[in-house]
Structure 1
Amino acid sequence: MRDADGVELTIFVFFFAVVTVVGFAAARWRRGQTIMHLDEWGLGGRGFGTFVTWFLLGGDLYSAYTFIAVPAAVFAGGAMGFWAVPYGAIAYPLVFLIGPRLWSVAHRHGYVTAADFVRGRYGSRSLGLAVALTGILAMMPYIALQLVGIQAVLTVMGVSGSGRAKDLPLFLAFALLAAYTFTSGLRAPALIAFVKDAMIYLVIIVAVVYIPTRLGGWDGVFDKAGTALATPNPATGRPAGSLFTTDMTHWAYGTLALGSSLALFIYPHSVTGALAAGRRDVIRRNAALLPAYSLLLGLLALLGYMALAHPGTAAAVRRAGNPQLAVPELFDRLFPSWFAGIAFAAIGVGALVPAAIMSIAASNLFTRNVYSAFIRPGAAPEEETRVSQLVSLLVKLGALVFVLGFDKSLAINLQLLGGIWVVQTFPSIGIGLYTRWLHRWGLLAGWAAGMAYGTITAYGTSSPTQEHFGSPLAGIPLAGHTGYIALTAFVLNMLVAVAATAALRAAGVDAGEDETSEDDYTADADGAPAAPDDPGRPLAGRPA
């Protein structure tokens, strides 16, 4: 274990203390009459405007995955790691199409989760349960990724150990996160997101300006990174990657981008952030404004090349056998201690914000779509909130199981594994917002087929350090290419759902009662329709 840098550690602990205080203080921020209601605890009072929602969704969607996993993928494989950049460009038009409709129908009917909508839309508690359980399952590895990011920073700072002690930072992070999430609900990450985003933008702007000057400019960065990627790996005898995608990686790159774009906004934490907005136009504005974070993501990915171009960083990461250490090692070696402490704090805080939202989203799913739907129908709002608070703790414990049980050398696999599962809910949610033609039992059959295929296929993949769930990529049946398992499973899901729907409708099987109406999907906060053709109301003259 390296000696801890006192300056780095002091600054890191200081910012963690600040966000902890902010997290507990958030319980009184814009609070209603009581916090013991899921509209208050789980959705922040459903009153956030454009400004707060932009920070909340940005803090939600751009996390330790952004700071740690994406540069690690670029460090390990070169250009393939940049698939995370175009998927944002694909995803936000989808958000613009489905986000306002989901907000409107949820506001009209008091839905707290996407599974609430599915249950009401198709008159099927079973389909709602399937969507809820899938969302909870998908949240586990995503929360785990946030904790892995914190652990990487602490390791580089020298706060690590051996045996059970090496996992102590994860348990400490769990305790801190659990405490203020339990008391403040969604208001805590919403308020902390202001601190998190300000720190991240500061660190990235400094990094992309300052670090290349230490590495011979951008020409030097790309030359050295290209040489490092082209050097054969002694274990495989092949280059690790290149600065450009090749004919062999085009399908993998494209399917990762497309499959991830389908998953982005139907993740439970994304839905939670969106439903916390106070007006329909807030969602539309954010669909237009959030791509600013994609620029940040592209700059972050370049840090993987910078780590390759710095010999000391590259050697340290390879000795550790852990690409996720690339960015922390780079910052530790090239930044002065005081700024490295700020950078490490930004990564740590950037992990806590989304982890809090994710645990809230997963607990809301359990409370509304398992507990209240099957165990205690008619549970009072106070009871629902207490259950959600307790389940949020259990969700974090589940994430710890993922962290302790899975290889962490390529942490991005944790997020992509969750994507394989959550994409299978897109037909029920995304397509269901526009048409009810798909039969509830057909959707359930498609979901089951996609989940089974995706899980079994992912289980069968391996990596040099992990026998199972080692990669999100596998061969595409009948195509002769390798692609993202989530997208292949989604295609199977749709084929089964369409075929089953045709058969069920031909047989006259009851399709269930739809409790929503057409004008629910265009309703605004005042209850009036936004417009008959659903483009949303004009932005001009509307309050933020």
Structure 2
Amino acid sequence: MRNEMGEGHLTPSTIGHFGLRAHGLPAATGPRGSLAPNRGGTISHAIAAGFVLVICCAALAGARRPSSDELPHPAGWALGGRSLGTAATCLMLGGTIYTSYTYIAVPGLMFGTGGLALYALVYTMLLSPLIMILLPRLRDIGARHGLITAADYVRVRHGSHPLALATALTGILATMPYLVLQVVGTAAVLRSLGLAPDGVAGCAVLGLLFLTFALVTRPGGLRACARISLVKAVLIGAAVVVLLALTLTRIGTPGHIFELAGGRGAAMGQSFGIPPRNFSAYATLAFGSALAQLMYPQVLLVAMASKSKDTLRAATTFLPAWSMTLGIWAFFGIAALAAGVRTSAGHGELAVPALVRELAPDWLAGLLFGALAVAGLLPAVVMAMSMSMLFVRNIYVEYLNPTATPKHEVRVARGPALAIMAGAIVFAMLMKPQDAINLHLLGGVWILQVLPAVAVSLFTRWFHRRALFLGWALGMVSGTGLLGLRGFSTVVDIGVGAVHAPVYVAVIALALNLAVAALLTPLLDALGVPRGTDGTAGGAVSGRRGSKYAFVVE
């Protein structure tokens, strides 16, 4: 199965972490002749560094502290006071879901394996209807009951401290590798500039970038991220227009590019279509990845921050525009193949940076690289904030300091957010890229296992809280085991007799999760095991563990 789908591993959630083994290709000849390598030098380095420095200084200068009459509160710092309008919500959702590594990995996947990269577009197109169905309902419940995180919701909905803790820990463990990959994406841009990210200078640049934006959000929280999201949208849009113009003028028309790329791909046994035998893997990857994306804490954080459910729905209608942009980036991977771009083995993510080097003069390459580096910071910061809130509200306050005030929660949350960002940089520097990808594969399997307790419970309270906990435990164990035993290949063959089909591991683990929860629920009810009180239906709200105080946020 692994060879049929191309060398590498199909990723669960963030599109294109396939462990690509890029191919060394013969030189390409476009309509204007051979494309000579543009090696670049100090000009592109200086311009990229200057561009990044200007953006960082502008971000620091624009960082605003909350007004003096606003009392510190988690809903103010982490959710922007639940006041994001349609435009801000759309920019935040797009800027958080479509990460920097996405824009590097998808064209790298097209470059290395061909048509399988189109699964990324299918997956992102599925997000809009799924968000419409799930997140407005969750946002309304969160606003009514003062909830900040998914684990808050699980505790109030199911009246279960263990299930809430499981949700919080899963969110943190699954998101950390995702954050590390944002650093890897930025490191790929630095590597294209000739700056080794594992060297002293590379580490210093990475640290400066992420520290700057972490400091920007320290006083303003999500409101600062909302301002950064506009900058990211402008930078990505400008980069798309410029690189598309370069591609079409230097290589040729889209038809000519596809013709060149098709010939080179065919010579390597590569196709831009999907083999029929792989359809089940393709479909389950797309659907499972879309469901998993909605369970990541950074996406839920942005949804909770919208002004109303109608605002969230309106913002979601514009998400396909982000998918169209991603489609253009996928085209750049085809253009890199047509242009005969060369990358070292195992570094397909360098296809687009290498294409920029081939097509753009030094000064323009520096601007494009600077834009890509800055654009990767928004999702990283939001991820760090969401993990910090899970830790503070559902671990620190729940088990260590149940009498903490909202002001104290905000003060404590700022520290872990910085520590998480620093830890992501350290992990990215110490780990091999493939190890980071493998951990992210596990993260995608893990995060999907909270779907029954979070998403399914939005529509039914039938499942018993202990059945949900045991189903979650089986899903985590089985998903981890299947992925590890298969060498981190994300699809496995299942079937009966002669009928077999490749299926995404996370979907199999989720099916086992739901099956256990469904089988144990009537059994636990028959045994008289008490259910938790549903605080969202007017019941008594579950108090903080070990505290006499009710879980109420004023």
TM-score class, shorter-chain normalisation, is 0.7 to 0.9
Instruction: Give the match for residue 463 of structure 2.
Output: 438
> Considering only aligned residues, what root-mean-square deviation do their CA atoms show, in Å?
2.4
Q: Residue deviations 1:310-353, cap 9 Å, x none?
A: 11x2x2x1x35311111111112112223322221221122100
Contiguous gaps of at least 5 residues in structure 2: 1-37, 540-554
Aligned partners of 1:508, 1:23: CA distance in 2, in Å? 57
1:269 to 293, 298, 320: 298
Deviation at 1:428, TM superposition (A): 0.9
5 Å matches for 1:457-536? 457-462=482-487, 469=488, 471-476=489-494, 478=496, 480-517=500-537
- Confirm or deny that 1:65 pairs with 2:104: no
Q: Residue deviations 1:279-305, cap 9 Å, x none?
A: 221111012121211111111111111
2:283 to 254, 260, 265: 254
5 Å matches for 1:214-363? 214-232=250-268, 239=269, 241-311=270-340, 313=341, 315=342, 317=343, 319=344, 321-363=346-388
Deviation at 1:251, TM superposition (A): 2.1
Aligned partners of 1:415, 1:322: CA distance in 2, in Å? 17
Aligned partners of 1:379, 1:162: CA distance in 2, in Å? 40
CA 1:383–1:209 in structure 2 vs 1: closer, same or farther (change >3 Å)? Answer: same
Q: Residue deviations 1:107-131, cap 9 Å, x none?
A: 1111011110111000011111111
- Confirm or deny that 1:419 pairs with 2:444: yes
CA 1:157–1:52 in structure 2 vs 1: closer, same or farther (change >3 Å)? Answer: same
Instruction: Give the match for residue 55 of structure 1.
Output: 91
Instruction: Give the match for residue 408 of structure 1.
Output: 433
TM-score, structure 1 as length reference: 0.86
Deviation at 1:197, TM superposition (A): 0.5
Aligned partners of 1:210, 1:412: CA distance in 2, in Å? 31
Q: Residue deviations 1:482-532, cap 9 Å, x none?
A: 33221111111111111111211222211100111289xxxxxxxxxxxxx
CA 1:200–1:413 in structure 2 vs 1: closer, same or farther (change >3 Å)? Answer: farther
Aligned partners of 2:156 and 2:534 also within 8 Å: yes
SS of 1:511's equivalent in the other structure is coil
Deviation at 1:472, TM superposition (A): 2.8
Q: Which amino acid aligns with 1:437?
A: W
SS of 1:474's equivalent in the other structure is strand
Deviation at 1:212, TM superposition (A): 3.0
Aligned partners of 1:35 and 1:41 also within 8 Å: no
Q: Which amino acid aligns with 1:269?
A: Q
Bigger shift: residues 92-101 or 223-232? 223-232
Deviation at 1:412, TM superposition (A): 6.1
Deviation at 1:163, TM superposition (A): 6.0
1:140 to 142, 164, 176: 176
Q: Which amino acid aligns with 1:87?
A: Y
Bigger shift: residues 290-299 or 184-193? 184-193
CA 1:169–1:228 in structure 2 vs 1: closer, same or farther (change >3 Å)? Answer: farther
CA 1:480–1:166 in structure 2 vs 1: closer, same or farther (change >3 Å)? Answer: farther
CA 1:164–1:409 in structure 2 vs 1: closer, same or farther (change >3 Å)? Answer: farther
2:129 to 69, 93, 96: 93
Aligned partners of 2:136 and 2:313 also within 8 Å: yes
TM-score, structure 2 as length reference: 0.84
Instruction: Give the match for residue 118 of structure 1.
Output: 154
CA 1:164–1:210 in structure 2 vs 1: closer, same or farther (change >3 Å)? Answer: closer
Q: Residue deviations 1:36-83, cap 9 Å, x none?
A: 421222112221111111111111111113211111112111111111
CA 1:268–1:199 in structure 2 vs 1: closer, same or farther (change >3 Å)? Answer: same
Instruction: Give the match for residue 231 of structure 2.
Output: 195
Q: Residue deviations 1:21-46, cap 9 Å, x none?
A: 34434542775734742122211222
5 Å matches for 1:12-23? 12-23=48-59
Aligned partners of 1:413 and 1:472 also within 8 Å: no
CA 1:284–1:518 in structure 2 vs 1: closer, same or farther (change >3 Å)? Answer: farther
Aligned partners of 1:65 and 1:412 also within 8 Å: no
CA 1:445–1:46 in structure 2 vs 1: closer, same or farther (change >3 Å)? Answer: same
Aligned partners of 2:438, 2:105: CA distance in 1, in Å? 9
CA 1:134–1:401 in structure 2 vs 1: closer, same or farther (change >3 Å)? Answer: farther
SS of 2:493's equivalent in the other structure is strand
- Confirm or deny that 1:373 pairs with 2:389: no
Instruction: Give the match for residue 22 of structure 2.
Output: none
Aligned partners of 2:82, 2:453: CA distance in 1, in Å? 24
Aligned partners of 2:264, 2:412: CA distance in 1, in Å? 51
Q: Which amino acid aligns with 1:98?
A: L
Aligned partners of 1:4 and 1:159 also within 8 Å: no
Aligned partners of 1:322 and 1:410 also within 8 Å: no
SS of 1:371's equivalent in the other structure is helix
Instruction: Give the match for residue 75 of structure 1.
Output: 111
Aligned partners of 1:476 and 1:488 also within 8 Å: no
- Confirm or deny that 1:389 pairs with 2:376: no
Deviation at 1:405, TM superposition (A): 5.2
CA 1:335–1:410 in structure 2 vs 1: closer, same or farther (change >3 Å)? Answer: farther
Instruction: Give the match for residue 215 of structure 2.
Output: 179
CA 1:418–1:273 in structure 2 vs 1: closer, same or farther (change >3 Å)? Answer: same
Aligned partners of 1:414, 1:191: CA distance in 2, in Å? 31
Aligned partners of 1:26 and 1:184 also within 8 Å: no
Deviation at 1:187, TM superposition (A): 2.2
SS of 2:81's equivalent in the other structure is coil
Number of aligned residues: 500
SS of 2:449's equivalent in the other structure is helix
Contiguous gaps of at least 5 residues in structure 1: 233-238, 463-468, 520-544
Aligned partners of 2:248, 2:508: CA distance in 1, in Å? 39
